[in-house]
Amino acid sequence: MSGTFLLRVEAESDAGLLARLVGLIAQRDMEILALDLRRWRQDVSEIRLTLMSPDAHMVDILVAKVEQMIGIYAAGVERSALAA
């Protein structure tokens, strides 16, 4: 069973670097099936993570780690689960 989660990250940092960072953080605790990065609007990147056997608690931890890593550069991180 897999699940896709969408992270919208508002940051002034390089979007590609941000996606790699999210991937590195996530792979420590989760099996990533796919990671896709898109520009949602100016200064907001959309990172789509498809995870094997997703656990909502683990995704919450991932979001907290991303917020912590990008720190003051992030105005916010929004997470939502997408229908499979």
pTM attached to this predicted model: 0.60
Contact predicate 11/75, CB 8 Å? yes
Nearest to 47 by CA among 81, 10, 7, 15: 7
Q: What is the pLDDT of residues 26-76, one digit of tens each?
A: 777 778 888 888 877 777 777 777 877 767 787 777 777 777 776 544 445
51-64: buried (b, 16+ CB within 10 Å) or exposed (e) per residue? beebeeeebeebbe
Spell out the domain ranges in the chain. 1-52
Encode pLDDT of 5-28 as tens digits: 777 777 666 777 777 777 777 777
